[in-house]
Amino acid sequence: MTNISQTNPVLDVKNLAVTLTIYGRPVPVVTNVSFQVRAGEAVALVGESGCGKTMTARAIIGLPPDGARVGGSIQLEGRELTTLSKKDRRKLGGSRIGFIFQEPMTSLHPTLTVGAQLCDTLRTHLDLGRKEARDRAAQLLDRVGIPRATAMLDSYIHQLSGGMRQRVMIALAVSCKPALIIADEPTTALDVTIQAQVLDLLKEMRSELGLAMLYITHDLEVVSDFCDRAVVMYAGDIVEEGPVASILTAPHHHYTRGLIGAIPAHDEDRKRLTLIKGQVPPLGAWPAGCRFAPRCPRADEVCLKHPALEPFEESAVRCWHPVELKKKETSTLG
Amino acid sequence: MVKQTTASSPLLQVEDLGKTFGQKPPVQAVRGVNFSIAQGQTFGLVGESGSGKSTTGRLVLRLLEPSAGRVLFRGNDLGKLGKKELRQERRHMQMIFQDPYGSLNRWMSIRETLEEPLLVHGLLDPAGRKQRVETLLNEVGLPKAALDKYPHEFSGGQRQRIAIARALVTEPELIVADEPVSALDVSVQAQVLNLLLNLQESHKMTLLFISHDLRVVEFMCDQIAVMYLGQIMELGPRKAIYRTPQHPYTRALLDSIPGRGKKELPRLKGEIPSPSAIPPGCPFNTRCPLAFDRCFREQPALYELSPGHVSACHLAEAEGQPQGRPNNIAMSPGTGA
Amino acid sequence: MGKYIRRRLLHALPTIFIPLVLVFFLLRLAPGDPAVQILGDNATPEQIAALRTQLGLDQPLPIQFLLWLKGLFTLQLGDSLFFHKPVLELIPAYAAVTLQLTFFALVIAMVIGLSAGIAASLLRGKILDRGIIGVMVFSISLPEFWLALVLIFVFAVTLRWFPVAGYVSFDEGVWASLATLVLPALAIGVRQAALLTRMTRSAMLDVLDEPYVTTARAQGLPEATVIGRYTLRTAAVPVVTVIGLSVSYLLSGAVAIELIFSLPGMGKLLVDAVSRRDYPVVEGSVLTIAVTLVVVNLIVDLVYAWLDPRIRLK
Amino acid sequence: MSLEQSDNLVVEQAQTLDSGEVELPAAVQPWTTWKRLRRNFTAVFSIGILVILTVCALAAPLLTNNAPLTIDPVHRLRAPGVEGHLFGTDYLGRDVFAIVLFGGRTTLVVGLLVTAISMVIAAVLGLLSGFYPKVDAVLMRVVDGFMSFPSIVLATAAAGYFGPSVATVILALTIVLIWPSLRIVRGSALVARELLMVEAGRSVGVPESRILWKYVFPIVRAPILVQTSFIFSAAVLGEAALSFIGLGVDSKTVSWGSALTEARNYIQNAWWIAVFPGIALVLTILALNLLGDALRDILDPRLARR
Amino acid sequence: GDSATATPPAATTAAAGSTPAAGAATTAAAGSTTAAGAATTASAVKRGGDLKIAVSALPAQVDPVVSTLGTQWLIATQVCEGLFATDDNYAPQPMLAESSSYDPNGPTFTVKLRTGVKFQDGSTMTADDVVASLQRYAGSAGTGAILKGLVKEIKATDASTVVMSLNQQTGIIPALLTLTPAVIMSKASINGANSSTPVANPVCTGPYKVTDYKPDQQAVLTRFENYTSRTDPTNGAAGAKPAPADRIIIVPQSESSVRRDSLLTGSVDIATGLPFDFYDALNSNSAVKPVIIKDNQSLTMVFNTKQGPTANVKLRQAIYYALDMDPIMQAAIGNPNFYSIDPSWYPFPNAIWHSTSGADNFGKSNPDKVKQLLADSGYKGETLRWLTSKDNFNEWYLPAQTVQQQLDKYGIKVDLQLMPAATVAQKRTDPANFEIFSSFLPAYPDPTLIPYLQSTFPGFWTNSTKDDLVKKLQTTSDQSQRVEIWNQLHALLYQEFPYIKFGTEAAFSAVGKNVMGYSTSPANASVFYNISPGK
Ligand SMILES: Nc1ncnc2c1ncn2[C@@H]1O[C@H](COP(=O)(O)OP(=O)(O)OP(=O)(O)O)[C@@H](O)[C@H]1O
Ligand SMILES: Nc1ncnc2c1ncn2[C@@H]1O[C@H](COP(=O)(O)OP(=O)(O)OP(=O)(O)O)[C@@H](O)[C@H]1O
Ligand SMILES: [Mg+2]
Ligand SMILES: [Mg+2]
């Protein structure tokens, strides 16, 4: 929270809470999530499966699942979104916020051509004629590195390879030059080589358009040379937040530490990985205090109380016993 | 009759293995693959999606009929075994699948699941089976109470443990693990990887480990083969592959590992071609940043760079010895187009 | 595409041939003698025997079968034993009635089914949705002949809006013709409408849950576009299946309705012909129905291909 | 006649399965099915109706002193409640209450047997077809052939051979209703065949017969179960339809379908003859359809919202 | 041949007529009509308009010769005429014949034709047309065979005289020629067609001609304006034919409730063949008039007299004396208005052939006699297989069921075997298949035409006395002698019981309130050409 730029945040989320109704019972999925994304900044939202990353993103774009209740405040470029009418809010999607989904195969329409989908968005938000929109769409495809862009406008998504599909998805997200891009695990389904290509493209788009970006991932390493800050989530909570470099090399939360230790290190003789014991508690069965306490090596009675997200060194940590920086040198990280 | 292997010969030997699916157009999933795995070793197969890793794994276990080549397991040609003999042989070779949700029969309790291989192979008496199943469950770190539960009552990591226990229950000599941790979260992945290492040591088993995650392969394997379009591009001991990779493809792969940007080569362009339309010459020629005219004409042979380290690249010709067997694909039908 | 159609038709040959062979043997092995049916019971055994010879029924079954096969391949289906007319001349008039009925029933089913299904899916869980589901399940549970009699009582006898029964062909007056078809079309259309509602609703719900619909919404497209352009077309694929099935059902399944409303359609022709043992007519009808079904299925497949480029571009 | 179109859903399901785009019900677990069933109001409600109707049919002799076939022409067309006839009497002076009770026996037995026989045959053939491509190629042509065969011809032929009887009706309906179910089972089996767990079983060395029985059958069980209730209702409706065109059960037997058919001339002047068996019939089919929908929700989360 | 489907007046084709009460109402309403009993006069009815009639089914074609099924003659009855026609009492009257006479010395039967009678194609009828038609009829199945048996040769001696040389003396030819298949068609239209090939467009002399014919949709009959009517008064099918309606439109409606509803909504003027239970509702509806055609047909059971237990006459007698007819008829028909307990095998009381001879105390059971006869018969409780069908519910199934109940009291076991009517018709041809089958029997213009009396009729009753009597009946031309012979035959039936009659059933139709001129006689219930829609 200290070394980020001082511009106004593009996205300012405060105390976001999402509660789902499962079998008629309200079940919290996201609680107390607050973070900011500034112009030109990329923030990684990291966490294991089911910790509420996607839910957070969907709450931000105003498309939570049926029957979900969303609490807290979401401000985009200073405008409060939660009080906007449904229609006005809808208009922001595609124009001010671009969204990139995890699975381009299912997130793009199977029976509309790539061009049609692009033109739909373009013509919804920009005052463009049919022809102009098509030209624009071709430019966009060209920009995201799709060869023979004009011809590709008439192709269907199933005719494209995985990487191409994700490029189309990116083209769609940036088509109206939004202020913010939310990318939900955009490379998880891709091969490493393609992942690298897509990340390169995202990087380019970001600098070219001055985008703020919220990058959702479960793999910290993916974002290490890409994001400025990382927000680590665990069981619906933010447990740690700070500059990526510092989180990767000197995590303060025991959970973050565990996550990093679990990544097989390069060029070392086989030795066992550091483990987080146990598993993520299922929805609706979160412990009352610190949600990580049952798996935490440092847990004690204090941890029966829910800790707050407190600034700690250059980050913010939700932990009663944060790991101190000095001890880090001896940690297992390479 | 199934012969016993002698200690010195490799446990598994794969010779010119090829597999073509379908006819119009034929999908050449695996072409002329050769490797062998010594007892107790972990052999890694890496490559992009569609490079033929899983198919190779299945061919090894003869869950698929190869279109070409043969698999020698414990010195026996699996292709020569009858249906029944093959089924019996299966107790010595088992598989762990990527998807722990799909690979367990969800209508069978954990006890049934684990006892089934023993049952169908007629091993042990009921008491012995019970005993064995309980021991194994303990070894993979699950409580005894788990026995009478059903797969859905477990998390992904736990299910993968169960799948591992099932693979081990007949004390097989070879286990083919097809992306056993790809579906798991990092923290759980670490647990399972540690478990696999422990078990391999205690059971002295041989592992064919398939993964697309170079970090995991590096962590697990002694020998690594990099596959591309059904062929082995480079094969060698772990250190050789990771420290001195020769093949541009291997190097590109290593460059793509997130967060380790040392970048020797420019980014790979484009994507892996379809295995039904494999480019002539070196299959990698469409994407290789170092490709030159020969690559488009001529299929490179496998060159030995150092003992056990081979690469199928024309650029390796200068450094290495051509290996006895050229890495050619003559044995897989449908090539040459 | 042409090749595809040819292959489909080739595949369809057994679909046509099996029912024909089946009907040949079923009819001839079942008791009941067409000669008796034609001459009436006052005929003497000699007269019946003479007629059997004339009709070729005295030949051994395998010979009859071979002759019949030969006729089939030369499209000589023979004359109706009862109407004394070539089957191929007889059937078109009946088929026309059934086709009209099918068409109207289908229009009713589609108008009700599609709109109710779409409305229900968009209001999922709301009162209207539940109401639609209730009416739909109820409609599925009504025997058609029962509904037909109730419709006659209410709309023909009490309200006198439509004629009770009978058939007026188009050339005798379009409106009169339509009026005679309204009640029968309703009687069978309601059930089809209910089935269609169910399918449309579930297909819509499936599609509405698809990530690409979320994408469309996230891109800020107006809801009308999201539903009209991004949802309906993909939801239509399973719905077309059901429509195809409805058509195939209506083509031969409306017997009771045709009997009640005295419509000279294929169902009535078939029932009468079967009970009269009018072999050529039964065989001709079965052939007609089977061929029509093949055509319907082909059309359904072509519609699929039109709706879904994944099929088209394979 | 609704017997041909056993139920659109049936085939519609089959087609989705055919196209292979169905992911298998992740949450189909026998041990949770019962729990979910109990929690599902529609399911409990419809099972309740079916149980009540079944009990009434079984206990028919205890509930009424009247035999359903006793003709009493002197007391024809008595209104409900008159002379101790709870539901009145029909045009032959038979007690409508008794007809409804005893007719339920026939109708439910027809429904039950048709469902049981056709489902067993469909299950066996469907499994084989889904698992052995050679069987499949032949069987699917046969299925197509049968499905384009007008069931009326079949029913008439059956009635011709065996005379009208409950058994004939069962036979005719069974033959008609096997095919859509078969396609559903086959569809599931085709999906099941490709399942990882089946390959996993093979890799362990499980023999093919055990794979079929222990791995594949449990998967097709869920669609079979759902299908069962739809087939049941199709059979009940089919019996009524057959009665209507004069191919129903013989008149030594009463059934709801035959009662309704015989009542068709009396809708206007003796409504009770038509209305009470009608209510019983509609209620049964309603309950079966609701149950089918509920089972679908329970067994197949993908279809849960239908 | 079974009576069930045999002749024009069969239940299924029933038509118009009026009860005396309803007839009176008509008189009052129309103001000009005098309805005397069953017949109405031609001059009284109003001309013009379309007469629409709902029947259960239309015949497959107009030509009546190709089928012995009475239902198949419906259209020919309206558009064609024979040499003779029945009046309302089943008596044959000349129609196209001017006069006729038997000549015992030949023997021959000579018919003088009316002259100047026009066919519907405008040509004039000649003896050649008659010869061609009758020869074709003689070659047809059923009653045609009777003519063939009687006649050596049919020839035209001049343009208006036809002479039949007979094999023997007979008195039945005029009656035989009242039957619809014996109608006269122009030779040109027959065009050489044999008896089993239908004439596509028969050209006849009737008062209406077919202008549109779609067997499953409608028959449109348009008045033949050049019709050459007789001048004697209308009586049933005989006499003058006023043809009051411009068109007669007959529509097939297989559901009886639909026929009723069509009538109630005014879309048809006449609904035929209605269930008796509709009576009360129709009777109380002022827009329509119910029409009961009394004494339409006998309900019967027929025994296998060739083999099995029922070949024993004692058992048949025992069964007869075990039966109470009224409950049987009551169960079958329901409403006493619609049946009568009448032993006559010729069910129409006004006909000269009506007979009670031999039937003592008909309709009441006689338990003592039953026991005696059963003991004599040596019946050992064999199960009697009774072929019946639900297709003819009221006529076949219900009587059978009541009879079964009644016989059960005496330990006579009946197994009711239900099957489609078509199957019954086939099964009963083999005596090994049954002991009893259900049947019914209308009146015929002549007793010799009753199919039951032929020994080929299933039941296979062969009896030399019967054969002699039938032969005598055929070869006698004196009417009063013939009645006497018929009475003897009737008495024989009540000794031998090859079949048992339960009672006589009426038929039931209903007409719109303005409809005039319909007949309530079963002889002409399906004759529509004298009826006026009254609109
Ligand atoms: N529509 C829904 N109904 C019920 N529960 C849901 C729904 N959507 C998501 N959940 C649950 O909410 C929790 C948070 O889900 P979310 O998708 O935000 O996780 P995630 O962090 O994005 O995980 P992943 O890495 O798997 O995408 C999960 O436990 C998920 O099962
Ligand atoms: N049964 C099959 N029929 C046809 N093609 C197949 C079949 N199995 C695999 N293939 C094709 O063979 C090629 C290699 O597949 P394989 O599954 O071995 O790749 P992989 O390296 O395991 O990829 P992944 O990382 O996606 O699992 C792919 O193109 C695949 O589509
Ligand atoms: Mg997510
Ligand atoms: Mg794989």
The pLDDT tens digits of the residues spanning D151-189 come to 878 887 787 777 778 888 999 999 989 988 898 888 888
| Span from the CA of B336 to the centroid of ligand 2 (angstroms) | 21
- Is the same domain home to C53 and C193? no
- The CATH number of the domain holding residue C270 is 1.10.3720.10
- Is the same domain home to C110 and C227? yes
- Report CA D57 to chain centroid distance, whole Å: 17
pLDDT band at B327 (very low <50, low <70, confident <90, very high): very low
Quick check: CB of A65 below 6 Å from ligand 1? yes
pLDDT for C258-308, tens place per residue? 988 999 998 888 888 887 888 889 888 888 888 888 888 888 888 888 888
- Taking an 8 Å Cβ-Cβ cutoff, which residues of chain A contact chain B? 48-49, 161-164, 191-197, 199-200, 218-225, 248, 258-259, 261-267, 270, 272-276, 279-280
Has residue C134 been placed in a domain?
Answer: yes
> Closest ligand 1 atom, CA of A58?
18
Has residue C124 been placed in a domain?
Answer: yes
Nearest CA in chain C to D306: C202
- What does the pLDDT read at residue E14? 31
Interface C–E counts its CB contacts (< 8 A) at 124
Task: Tell me whether residues D266 and E401 touch, CB distance under 8 A.
Answer: no
- What does the pLDDT read at residue D218? 83
Work out the mean pLDDT of chain A and round it to a whole number. Answer: 86
Q: What number of other Cβ atoms are within 10 A of residue B335's Cβ?
A: 18
Percentage of the residues of chain E whose pLDDT score is greater than 90: 60
Whether C173 has a pLDDT exceeding 60, the answer reads: yes
Indicate which residue's Cα is closest to atom 27 of ligand 1: A49
pLDDT for E430-467, tens place per residue? 899 999 999 999 888 899 889 899 888 888 999 999 99
- Report CA E520 to chain centroid distance, whole Å: 14
And the tokens for B138? Answer: 């303990």
- Is the same domain home to C97 and C33? no
Task: Give the contacts of D213 (CB within 8 A, at least 6 positions apart).
Answer: none
- Whole-structure pTM value: 0.83
Interface of D with E in 134-193 (CB under 8 A): 159-160, 163-165
- Is the same domain home to C48 and C112? no
D269 and chain C: CB distance < 8 Å anywhere?
no
Nearest CA in chain E to C45: E456
Whether D3 has a pLDDT exceeding 80, the answer reads: no
The average pLDDT across E180-184 equals 94
CA nearest neighbour of A232 among A241, A222, A221, A220:
A241
- Is the same domain home to C133 and C26? no
Indicate which residue's Cα is closest to atom 16 of ligand 2: B52
Whether E422 has a pLDDT exceeding 90, the answer reads: no
**Strand extents, DSSP E, B10-123:** 12-21, 27-37, 42-47, 68-73, 76-77, 93-96
Indicate which residue's Cα is closest to atom 24 of ligand 2: B49
pLDDT band at E29 (very low <50, low <70, confident <90, very high): very low
Task: Give the contacts of B286 (CB within 8 A, at least 6 positions apart).
Answer: B270, B273, B279
Which of C20, C44, C73 is the last residue before a domain boundary?
A: C73
Q: Would you call the peptide bond into E107 cis, given omega within 30 degrees of 0 as the criterion?
A: yes
Residue in E330, E418, E423 closest to D250 by CB: E418
The dihedral formed by the CA atoms of B45, B51, B53 and B56, expressed in degrees to the nearest 10: -120
Interface A–B counts its CB contacts (< 8 A) at 109
- What does the pLDDT read at residue D122? 92
Has residue C280 been placed in a domain?
Answer: yes
User: Which chains share 3+ C-beta pairs under 8 angstroms with C?
Assistant: A, D, E
And the tokens for A162? Answer: 């995985």
Element (H, E) at E103: strand E97-103
- What does the pLDDT read at residue C200? 92
- Is the same domain home to C117 and C184? yes
- Is the same domain home to C51 and C114? no
User: Which chains share 3+ C-beta pairs under 8 angstroms with A?
Assistant: B, C
Has residue C41 been placed in a domain?
Answer: yes
CA nearest neighbour of C273 among C284, C262, C260, C263:
C284
β-sheet bridge partners, residue D297 = none
Has residue C313 been placed in a domain?
Answer: no
- What does the pLDDT read at residue C225? 92
Which ligand has its closest atom nearest to the C-alpha of A56?
Answer: 1
Task: Tell me whether residues E265 and C83 touch, CB distance under 8 A.
Answer: no
- Is the same domain home to C125 and C273? yes
D92 and chain C: CB distance < 8 Å anywhere?
no
D271 and chain E: CB distance < 8 Å anywhere?
no
Q: Which of B46, B48, B53, B249 to mutate to test the pocket of ligand 2 (most atoms within 8 A of CB)?
A: B53
The dihedral formed by the CA atoms of E209, E214, E215 and E221, expressed in degrees to the nearest 10: -20
Q: How many residues does the structure list for chain D?
A: 306
Residue E242 in contact with residue E66, Cβ under 8 Å? no
ipTM: 0.81
Residue C72 in contact with residue C155, Cβ under 8 Å? no
- Is the same domain home to C108 and C247? yes
Task: Tell me whether residues D203 and B150 touch, CB distance under 8 A.
Answer: no
Q: Packing angle between helix C266-276 and helix C279-307, nearest 10 degrees?
A: 150
Instruction: Using alpha carbons, list the distances in angstroms from residue C299 to B68, C203, C244, C307, D223.
Output: 43, 20, 8, 12, 28
Domains of chain D by start residue, with CATH: 3-15+96-304 (1.10.3720.10)
And the tokens for B111? Answer: 């006890």
Nearest CA in chain B to A200: B267
CA nearest neighbour of E289 among E535, E515, E505:
E515
CA–CA distance, B17 with B45 (Å, rounded to integer): 14
> Closest ligand 2 atom, CA of B57?
18
Provide the greatest CA pair distance for chain A.
67
- What does the pLDDT read at residue E67? 80
Nearest CA in chain D to C192: D8
- Is the same domain home to C190 and C286? yes
CA–CA distance, C196 with C191 (Å, rounded to integer): 9
CA–CA distance, E204 with E180 (Å, rounded to integer): 12
A92 and chain C: CB distance < 8 Å anywhere?
yes
And the tokens for D215? Answer: 């791995």
Has residue C312 been placed in a domain?
Answer: no
Whether B94 has a pLDDT exceeding 60, the answer reads: yes
CA–CA distance, D261 with D103 (Å, rounded to integer): 12
- Is the same domain home to C10 and C110? no
Residue in D30, D200, D218 closest to B97 by CB: D200
Whether A88 has a pLDDT exceeding 80, the answer reads: yes
pLDDT for D102-161, tens place per residue? 999 999 999 999 999 999 999 999 998 988 888 888 888 888 888 888 887 888 778 777
Its sign, for the CA torsion D260, D262, D263, D264, is: positive
CA–CA distance, E57 with E60 (Å, rounded to integer): 9
Q: Which amino acid, A241?
A: E
Has residue C79 been placed in a domain?
Answer: no
pLDDT for C244-254, tens place per residue? 888 888 887 78
Whether B1 has a pLDDT exceeding 60, the answer reads: no
Which of C17, C39, C73 is the last residue before a domain boundary?
A: C73
Query: For an interface test with A, which of B154, B158, B186 has the most A Cβ atoms less than 10 Å from its Cβ?
Result: B186
Q: Which of A18, A219, A283 to mutate to test the pocket of ligand 1 (most atoms within 8 A of CB)?
A: A283
CA–CA distance, C40 with C49 (Å, rounded to integer): 13
Which of C21, C41, C73 is the last residue before a domain boundary?
A: C73
- Calculate how close chain B gets to A220, using CA atoms only, in Å: 9
CA–CA distance, C184 with C257 (Å, rounded to integer): 6
Has residue C192 been placed in a domain?
Answer: yes
- Is the same domain home to C11 and C136? no
Indicate which residue's Cα is closest to atom 10 of ligand 2: B29
> Closest ligand 1 atom, CA of A233?
21
- What does the pLDDT read at residue A268? 63
Residue B226 in contact with residue B234, Cβ under 8 Å? yes
Provide the greatest CA pair distance for chain B.
67
- Report CA A39 to chain centroid distance, whole Å: 16
Q: What number of other Cβ atoms are within 10 A of residue B336's Cβ?
A: 7
How many angstroms separate the first and last alpha carbons of chain B?
42
Task: Tell me whether residues B260 and A200 touch, CB distance under 8 A.
Answer: no
Domains of chain B by start residue, with CATH: 12-225 (3.40.50.300)
The average pLDDT across D239-250 equals 83
Indicate which residue's Cα is closest to atom 9 of ligand 1: A55
Q: How many residues does the structure list for chain C?
A: 314
Q: Do chains B and C touch (3 or more CB pairs under 8 A)?
A: no
CA–CA distance, E200 with E188 (Å, rounded to integer): 12
Task: Tell me whether residues C264 and E214 touch, CB distance under 8 A.
Answer: yes
Task: Tell me whether residues A156 and C233 touch, CB distance under 8 A.
Answer: no
Residue E77 in contact with residue E55, Cβ under 8 Å? no
Instruction: Using alpha carbons, list the distances in angstroms from residue C199 to B18, B81, C103, C125, C147.
Output: 46, 51, 20, 16, 22
Quick check: CB of A31 below 6 Å from ligand 1? no
The average pLDDT across C209-225 equals 91
And the tokens for B215? Answer: 């970090």
- Report CA E124 to chain centroid distance, whole Å: 30
Q: Which amino acid, B80?
A: K
Residue C260 in contact with residue C148, Cβ under 8 Å? yes
| Span from the CA of B49 to the centroid of ligand 4 (angstroms) | 7
Domain with C208 in it: 88-307
C134 and chain A: CB distance < 8 Å anywhere?
no
Task: Give the contacts of A326 (CB within 8 A, at least 6 positions apart).
Answer: none
| Span from the CA of B269 to the centroid of ligand 4 (angstroms) | 22
Domain count, chain C: 2
Residue D269 in contact with residue E280, Cβ under 8 Å? yes
Q: Which of B23, B30, B46, B51 to mutate to test the pocket of ligand 2 (most atoms within 8 A of CB)?
A: B51
Quick check: CB of A54 below 6 Å from ligand 1? yes
Nearest CA in chain A to B220: A270
Task: Tell me whether residues E420 and D76 touch, CB distance under 8 A.
Answer: no
Buried b (16+ CB within 10 A) or exposed e, D250-283: bbebbbbbbbbbbbbbbbbebebbbbbbbebbbb
Indicate which residue's Cα is closest to atom 1 of ligand 1: A65
Task: Tell me whether residues B91 and D205 touch, CB distance under 8 A.
Answer: yes
The average pLDDT across A34-41 equals 90
| Span from the CA of B56 to the centroid of ligand 2 (angstroms) | 9
Indicate which residue's Cα is closest to atom 18 of ligand 2: B52
Residue E126 in contact with residue E107, Cβ under 8 Å? no
